[in-house]
Structure formats: structure tokens, C-alpha cells
Amino acid sequence: MTKLNELFSCRHAKLLILLLLLSGICAGCLGQDPLEARVKKLTHSLGDKDQNVSYASVYALVDIGEPAVDSLIKALKDDNPQVRSLAARALGEIGDKKAVDSLIEVLDDPSPEVRMNATFSLGSLGAAEAVEPLIELLKDENEGVVLSAVSSLGALRDPRAVEPICEVLNGNYYDARWKIASALREIGDPRAIDTLLSLLGDKELGPSVASMLGNFESEQVFGKVIKLLDSRDPTTRANAVAVFEYHQDPAAVPYLVEMLDDGAPEVRKEAAFTLGFFKEPEETAQSEQPLISALEDSEPEVKEAAVGSLGRIKSKESIPYLEGLLQDNNQNLRIAAVEALGRIGDPEAVDFLIAALEDKNWQVRKQIVYSFVEIGDLQAVDSMISLLGDENYRVRQIAAGGLGKLGDQRAVEPLLKALETERERNVRAAEVRALGELGGPEAVEGLRRITMDMEEYWNVRTAAGDILKTIEGVEEANISSTS
Amino acid sequence: MKKSTLISISAALLILALGILWYYGSGADVKIVDMNASSVGVRESGKLDIVLQNNGSKPVDVWLEVENAFVDKNGEARSTSRLIISNDSVDPWDAKFVSLQKPIHLLPGNNSVSVWLGYELPGKYPVNVKVIENSRLLDEGTYLVQIPLPEIHLKLEYETESRNTSDIYRIYGYLINKGLGNALDVSTNLTVIDERTGELGFTSSRTYDVSNNDKVALWSWPDYPYAIVEIAHGEPSGKSYMPVQNVVIGESEDRFLINVTSTWKDQVASAELLIPPREESR
């Protein structure tokens, strides 16, 4: 029998320790946290040469979220710039503020991609403590880094960044001016106003800047913009007028009316267009007649803008003038006049619009249907029924939709008849939906036939089926409520 | 080998076995109790709904490994990352996506999850689902997903108009799929043969995609037919019929056989029209 001391003799003890170590290693491997192991593997994959793999690793780490943050912070010090750069990006996407200090530290990384992604992430994290370092980065030699810093400072909305960003705007970043100006708008500090106003004369950027100025308080902007209405540059004047689309200060109306007589057509057009946003009675009392007079302008675009505004302010006085424009040679003017008559919503206009259905331009006919629906007068139903046979499928489609909205049962039979011959998928779907809106036994029967037709377009058959379910559901509810 | 050595090895193996038994023996009691997939066609997104039952009294985090959930046109199974969604949303696009990079948190009782499915080819696909906790397989199940075949048909129809001394036949056609799977890249050929002379008028071909239980128009431009046949009894009208490309102009004695044939995998569908029809000859 083996003695106990023999069992633990030197040779046996060595073997035993070896086996115990082996089992310890196995247990260690089995016991490793799989999430931790996956984070480690994915962080390593950030440096993969295959972009599909490295980017997929970023997405996966972002999915994992907070448990991946420590590993990513560590990766900011990796030797491989790709790993550092993607780790910086992933930290911003995860959104854990624990990463802020480490991201600030890599703002002086030798790789521009790392600086850019760290900058982006600091903006995403809302890291107020990063404002000063980010301002410093506005002097970076790399354009991508500078623009990323501008965006992040815009997101952080710290007024300290306004003047440095204004300097960048006046620098050599011509193609990125919109992005830089947007950052100033985001911050919303009044010190940016003068810089933004100076861009109103820019043909490309001016209209966008006009809308950006809408982000500031009216009293901060009003006086300065009014002064620009006297600018010698027509682009500046037109864009200054456009600012009032976003600041509808009633005090601007007399100035805008005055601009209807400006020498430059683009200014008159902008003034005519902008006046349509001032809809209060005391405002329209000042603008209605000047806008009607603008219908005589020599420039069709000015006329079109005036027509649109007369529609938006619902000017009944303009109806006879708009009727006259229904015969104009310019199709855009005819379309605008039809749209304006619809917006005004006076049934008096229906007869003019019915007569205008002879128009050869399908867009005019389509717009007439929209206006019929907006006016909501049932005397248009017969004309709309005749449009179910229009030569243009878009007109037929809109007419079917309009008949459904008007809700006149007279349209059921013509819609069913149209479905017998209509070939275009979307028109058929519109006709089916119109039948659903109109309802009634005939419509239901027609819809039922469509649901059973296996040679029908799928969307048409499905629409009919869905409508029937709704109708049957309502009927069941009615029966149960009466019983 | 000495007896003492054998005893030493046996003792060590026993320790190792006990260690492994201890490790695996304490796993959570999670079972796949149900798997179900709604009908899905080729290149449609489908869902495999899985009910996981956690029989323990505490929540447990498990990992899912899914094989064959996505198979490409070469028959290769693709990764199933980010495919699990919570089952509390009717609209799959509004559903909350849960990454497969993270464990799924199962509460005691039944838990529903869904896996996106997608296949580029019809066939039968065994979708294998493994439920794993800390590298330990808790349960495994397979669901056979069947991707049905499309069933293609063709239909031709026409309308006539007489203008001056010509009869104009406007031909319309549809590729119809009465099956459940989508048919993609359906090769469709049009041939027009003058029956009188036996000459080929023209041919044209195009490919179409048609979804399950749907149809597509063969014409390219809305409100314009697929093909036009003008039978001129005097001077031809001289119209170009643009943008219609499939145009043939014949004389009074001519009769054209319009044939359309569609081919998809091993399916062939065709339809024919004789223009003018026999009873309509002037």
C-alpha cells in the first residue's frame, strides 16, 4: 500500500502541482467574463486594416456602451493612430462623460484624425470644460480639425467661442462658411449678429444667413436689418428683406411695402413674398393693395410672389385679378393664381377654376383639384369626376383623392367605373382609398371584388382589404352599441 | 506505471472533473419553449419569434447565437449582429434593436425576443438558436424556415383607336406573380413577327422585379403603352409615338404576332396576341 508520505514525495508532488495548475488555467479561461473578453477583442479590432472590420468594431463597442468605456479610454494611448482615432469617436457615441478628460488630453495628438474625432466627441458629450482647449484648436493647421472644433463649439453654445469663430469665418475657409455661420447661430450670442449681417451680401450664403438671423431676438436684429434695406447692393437688400420671413415684426410691414418699388427685381420679389407672412388684419390692411399693384410688375417672378402672398393673406379683393391671371401665358403664374384662389377659399372662384380645367398644362389642372378641395364647394364634384378620365395619370390620381375628401356620394359610381379601365397602379390605389372615404354599399361591394382579385396590384388589393376591415369594424361597433 | 503514480493522476483528474462539474452544474435554467416565424419571401425581412423561459427565481443574462438567419445569394450565412428586437412593437421599424454584442436580460418566466431573418434565395433554412451563459450552452433549438417560390405569369391586353386611315393598337402587358416569394431580375423578351411574311418585326428585352402576389406593368412610362402596332390602310400616320420604343407599322394585309416571354430560374411564362385579331380584319 502506498504510504501517504510517498504520495506527496517530491516527484509526485510536482506532477500534482502541474495538474492543479492546468486545471486552474482551464477554470480561469472558463471563468473569464465574456463581455470583457469581447470588449478587449473589439478594441483590438479597431486597428484592423480592413475598414469594414474596424468600423463594425466601433458600432459593436458603441452597442456595448458603458462597459466598453474603460477599454476605449485606454485605447486612446494606443500606438496605432487608427485605434486612437476610432476609440475617440466611439467614446463620443457612447456618451459617457467619464471620457472627457482623456479626450481633452488627446487634442494635441500628432494624428489629425485623432484630434478631429476627439473634438467631435467632446461636442457630443457636451463637455463645457473642453471649450478653452477647443478654442485653441481653431488655430490648428488641419482644416478638418478646425471645422470639427467649430461644430463642437457650436454644440457647446459657449459665448466665449463667438469671437474666435468669427475670426475663422473671416479666414480662408470659403467652402465651409455655412458650417461656421451655423455654429454662430447655434451659440445665439448677439456678438455674432454683425458678422452674420455682413454675409447677407453673399449670393450663395445670404439666404441661409437670413434664416440664421431668425434665431436671434427681434430687437437685437431689427434696427440693423432696416439699415441694410438702404444698402447699395441689391443682394444685401433682398436678403435683408428675407430676414423678416423669420422675424415677423409688424413694424417691418411699411418698410417691406416700400421695397415693392425697389429698382432691383430680386428685392421686389423678396418683398412681395415676405409680405405673405404678415397675416394680421392691421398688417394686411397695409399690404393688400400694394400686393395687388405688384401683379402689374414687369417681372413674372415678382408677380408670382405677389400672387402667392395674396393667397396666404386670403385677400378677397384680389380674386378678380387672380381670375385674370388664369389665362396668362406664363404657366407658373397660372399655377400660382389657382393655388391662391384655393387658399382664399371663396366659392365664388369655383366657376373660374372649372373654366380653367381646359388648361393644357397638367400641373395647372392638378393644382385646380387641390384648390377645389381646399374651397370644399360641391359644385366642383362633376368637374372632378370628369378628371378621372384625364390624359395625365397624376391628374387622375389627385382627382380621385379629391373626390374622396369632398365626400359626395355621386362620385362612387364613376370611381368604380374608372377602376374597370384604369391601368396605373397609384391611380387605382387613390381610387380605392376614395371609395373607402365615401363608403356606402356600392363602394363596399367594389372594394370586396378588388380584395379577391389575385391579378390586382398588391398595394391596391391590400388598401381595399384594410379599408374593408375598418368599415366592418365600425359597423360592428355600431351594431353592438345599438344592441 | 507505479500504483502511486496512478493514484496521483486519478486524484488530480478528480479535482479537475469536480471543478468543471461545479462550474457547469450551477448554470441557469433557461429553455427555448417556442419558436415561430411568419411567412417570408425572398429578399423580404422576416422575424423568428423565440420564447425563452427562465425557470429560475432571478433575472439572468444570456447570449444568443443564431445561425442561418441571413443567407446571401451565394448561399452563405451572414452575421446576425444587431438582429434581436424586443417583441413589444408591432412595427418592426419602430422596434428597439438590441445588439448581439451584449447579453440579453431574461426575467423569471417567459421572455419574447425576435431575430431578423432574410434570404436571397428560396429554399429551406434550419435556423439554429443557441442560448449561452458564460460559455455554457443552456439550450439549443432549430426552426426550419421555408422561403417559398414565386409563380410568374404574363398577361397582354390592347385597345384600339382609328385615326385617319390607320388603326392604332396600344398593347399593355403585366408580369404577375401569384406565388409568395419575390422574383427578381425576371428576363422578359418581346418579339413581334409579321405572320404574312414571317419576318421578325423587332425584339426587345428588359428585366423586371415582381413582389409576391403582385404585378408589374411592362410599360416604362405611365400612360404610355408597352408596344404600339399601327396598321396603315393608306399613308402611315408618321407619328413617332415617343417615348414608346416598341413600335411596328404595317399595312392592311399585315398581321403581327406579339409574343412576350418571361424567364426566371426554371420558370417560363409567355403570352401572345395577334394584331389585328382575325375577326377585325378590314
What phi, psi does B270 have (nearest 5°)? -145, 160
**pLDDT of A86 higher than 60:** yes
Q: What is the DSSP letter of B220?
A: S
Give residue A4's pLDDT: 41
Q: CB of B274 within 8 Å of any CB in chain A?
A: no
Cβ neighbours of residue A67 under 8 Å, at least 6 residues apart?
A: A35, A36, A39
Q: CB of B215 within 8 Å of any CB in chain A?
A: yes
Handedness of CA B133, B138, B139, B140 (dihedral sign): positive
Q: Which helix (DSSP H) or strand (DSSP E) does residue A150 occupy?
A: helix A143-156
CB B103 within 8 A of CB B131: no
- Do the domain assignments include residue A11? no
Q: How many other CB atoms are there within 10 angstroms of residue A225's CB atom?
A: 24
- Do the domain assignments include residue A178? yes
Three-state SS for A263? coil
Q: Do B15 and A19 touch (CB under 8 A)?
A: yes
Nearest residue of chain B to residue A66 (CA atoms): B102
Q: CB of B135 within 8 Å of any CB in chain A?
A: yes
The alpha-carbon gap from A156 to the nearest alpha carbon of chain B, in Å, equals: 29
Q: CB of B19 within 8 Å of any CB in chain A?
A: yes
Residue from A1, A9, A12 whose CB has the most chain B CBs within 10 Å, to mutate: A12
Mean pLDDT of A299-309: 97
Q: Do A60 and B172 touch (CB under 8 A)?
A: no
Q: CB of B16 within 8 Å of any CB in chain A?
A: yes
Mean pLDDT of A153-159: 95
Q: CB of B160 within 8 Å of any CB in chain A?
A: no
pTM of the entire predicted model: 0.76
What is B14-65 written as a DSSP string?
HHHHHHHHHHHHT---EEEEEEEE----TT--EEEEEEEEE-SSS-EEEEEE
- Do the domain assignments include residue A87? yes
- Do the domain assignments include residue A30? no
CB A169 within 8 A of CB A181: yes
Q: How many other CB atoms are there within 10 angstroms of residue A296's CB atom?
A: 10
Give residue A5's pLDDT: 47
**Cα(B156)–Cα(B134) distance, rounded to whole angstroms?**
62
Domain that holds residue A456: 377-483
Q: Do B63 and A34 touch (CB under 8 A)?
A: yes
Q: Do B223 and A424 touch (CB under 8 A)?
A: yes
CB B192 within 8 A of CB B248: yes
pLDDT digit string (tens) for A123-144?
999 999 999 999 999 999 999 9
Nearest residue of chain B to residue A17 (CA atoms): B12
Which pLDDT band, with edges at 50, 70 and 90, does B98 fall under?
A: low
Q: Which helix (DSSP H) or strand (DSSP E) does residue B188 occupy?
A: strand B183-194
Domain final residue pick, A247, A274, A297: A247
Three-state SS for A78? coil
| Mean pLDDT (chain A, rounded) | 91
At the top level of CATH, which class does the domain B28-147 belong to?
mainly beta
Which pLDDT band, with edges at 50, 70 and 90, does A8 fall under?
A: very low
**pLDDT of A393 higher than 50:** yes
Which amino acid is it at B33?
Answer: V
Nearest residue of chain B to residue A41 (CA atoms): B101
Chain B residue numbers touching A454 (CB-CB < 8 A)? 178, 213
Which pLDDT band, with edges at 50, 70 and 90, does B23 fall under?
A: low
What is B102-166 written as a DSSP string?
S-EEEPSEEEEEEEEEEESS-EEEEEEEEEEETTEEEEEEEEEEEEPPP-EEEEEEEEEEEETTE
Percent of chain A with pLDDT over 70: 92
CA-nearest of A169, A170, A135 to A149 is A135
CA-nearest of A413, A415, A392, A391 to A402 is A415
| Mean pLDDT (chain B, rounded) | 85
Domain with CATH 2.60.40.10 in chain B: 28-147, 152-280
The alpha-carbon gap from B222 to the nearest alpha carbon of chain A, in Å, equals: 7
Percent of chain B with pLDDT over 90: 46
Cβ neighbours of residue A92 under 8 Å, at least 6 residues apart?
A: A99, A103, A117, A120, A121, A122, A123, A124, A125
Give residue B95's pLDDT: 47
Bridge-based pairing of strands B46-54 and B60-67 is unpaired
The alpha-carbon gap from B136 to the nearest alpha carbon of chain A, in Å, equals: 9
Q: Are A54 and A150 contained in the same domain?
A: yes
The crossing angle, in degrees rounded to 10, of helices A112-124 and A81-94 is 10
Q: Do B23 and A456 touch (CB under 8 A)?
A: no
Q: CB of B213 within 8 Å of any CB in chain A?
A: yes
Chain B residue numbers touching A391 (CB-CB < 8 A)? 223
Q: Give the highest mean pLDDT range of A246-250, A434-438, B14-18.
A: A434-438
Dihedral class, residue B23 (left if φ above 0, else alpha if ψ from -120 to 50, else beta)? alpha
Give residue A29's pLDDT: 46
Which of B13, B102, B222 is closest, CB to CB, to A393?
Answer: B222
Mean pLDDT of B106-127: 87
Chain A residue numbers touching B23 (CB-CB < 8 A)? 27, 30-31
**pLDDT of B282 higher than 80:** no
The alpha-carbon gap from B196 to the nearest alpha carbon of chain A, in Å, equals: 32
Nearest residue of chain B to residue A11 (CA atoms): B5
**pLDDT of A418 higher than 80:** yes
Chain A residue numbers touching B176 (CB-CB < 8 A)? 455
What phi, psi does A154 have (nearest 5°)? -60, -45
Bridge-based pairing of strands B123-133 and B136-147 is antiparallel
**Cα(B76)–Cα(A312) distance, rounded to whole angstroms?**
59
Q: Do A35 and B16 touch (CB under 8 A)?
A: no
Q: Which residues of A touch B (CB under 8 A)?
A: 2, 6-7, 12, 15-16, 19-20, 22-23, 26-27, 30-31, 33-35, 38, 42, 56, 59-61, 63-65, 391-393, 423-425, 454-459, 461
Number of domains composing chain A: 4
Chain B residue numbers touching A2 (CB-CB < 8 A)? 3-4, 7
Q: How many other CB atoms are there within 10 angstroms of residue B239's CB atom?
A: 13
CA-nearest of B217, B213, B248, B245 to B230 is B248
Domain final residue pick, A247, A267, A285: A247
Bridge-based pairing of strands B84-86 and B109-119 is antiparallel
Chain B residue numbers touching A459 (CB-CB < 8 A)? 214
Q: Which helix (DSSP H) or strand (DSSP E) does residue A417 occupy?
A: helix A412-421
The alpha-carbon gap from A389 to the nearest alpha carbon of chain B, in Å, equals: 11
**pLDDT of A26 higher than 70:** no
Q: Are A120 and A190 contained in the same domain?
A: no
Which amino acid is it at B243?
Answer: P
Mean pLDDT of A371-375: 96
What is B53-97 written as a DSSP string?
EE-SSS-EEEEEEEESSEE-TTS-EE--TT-EEETT-SSGGGSPE
B188, β-bridge pairs: B206, B262
**Cα(B181)–Cα(B146) distance, rounded to whole angstroms?**
10
CA-nearest of B185, B181, B153, B157 to B171 is B157
**pLDDT of A244 higher than 90:** yes
Bridge-based pairing of strands B70-71 and B109-119 is parallel
Nearest residue of chain B to residue A422 (CA atoms): B223
Q: Which three cell numbers stand for residue A72?
A: 476605449
Three-state SS for A285? helix
Side-chain half-sphere CA neighbours of A225 within 13 A: 32
- Do the domain assignments include residue A17? no
- Do the domain assignments include residue A165? no
**Cα(B133)–Cα(B57) distance, rounded to whole angstroms?**
16
CB A196 within 8 A of CB A212: yes
pLDDT digit string (tens) for B243-277?
999 999 999 989 999 999 999 988 999 999 999 99
Q: Which helix (DSSP H) or strand (DSSP E) does residue A25 occupy?
A: helix A10-31
**pLDDT of B91 higher than 60:** no
**CATH code given to domain B152-280:** 2.60.40.10
Q: Are A75 and A150 contained in the same domain?
A: yes
**Cα(A87)–Cα(A55) distance, rounded to whole angstroms?**
11
Bridge-based pairing of strands B246-251 and B227-232 is parallel
Q: Which three cell numbers stand for residue A115?
A: 484630434
The alpha-carbon gap from A168 to the nearest alpha carbon of chain B, in Å, equals: 41
Q: Do A60 and B155 touch (CB under 8 A)?
A: no
Q: Do B7 and A7 touch (CB under 8 A)?
A: yes
Domain final residue pick, A370, A389, A423: A370
**Cα(B268)–Cα(B150) distance, rounded to whole angstroms?**
12
Residue with C-alpha cell 413577327? Answer: B193
pLDDT digit string (tens) for B179-227?
888 888 999 999 999 998 888 988 999 999 999 899 999 999 999 999 9
Q: Do B8 and A31 touch (CB under 8 A)?
A: no
Q: CA A206: distance to chain centroid?
A: 20
Distance in Å from the first CA to the final CA of chain A: 95
Q: CB of B78 within 8 Å of any CB in chain A?
A: no
Q: Residue A151 maps to which CATH number? A: 1.25.10.10
Bridge-based pairing of strands B256-264 and B267-275 is antiparallel
Q: Which three cell numbers stand for residue B170?
A: 396600344
- Do the domain assignments include residue A413? yes
Q: CB of B96 within 8 Å of any CB in chain A?
A: no
CA-nearest of A177, A161, A150, A88 to A125 is A88
**pLDDT of A287 higher than 90:** yes
Q: How far apart, in Å, are the Cα atoms of A335 and each of A271, A304, A365?
A: 20, 9, 9
Residue with C-alpha cell 470659403? Answer: A174
**Cα(B260)–Cα(B192) distance, rounded to whole angstroms?**
9
- Do the domain assignments include residue A48? yes
**Cα(A406)–Cα(A401) distance, rounded to whole angstroms?**
9
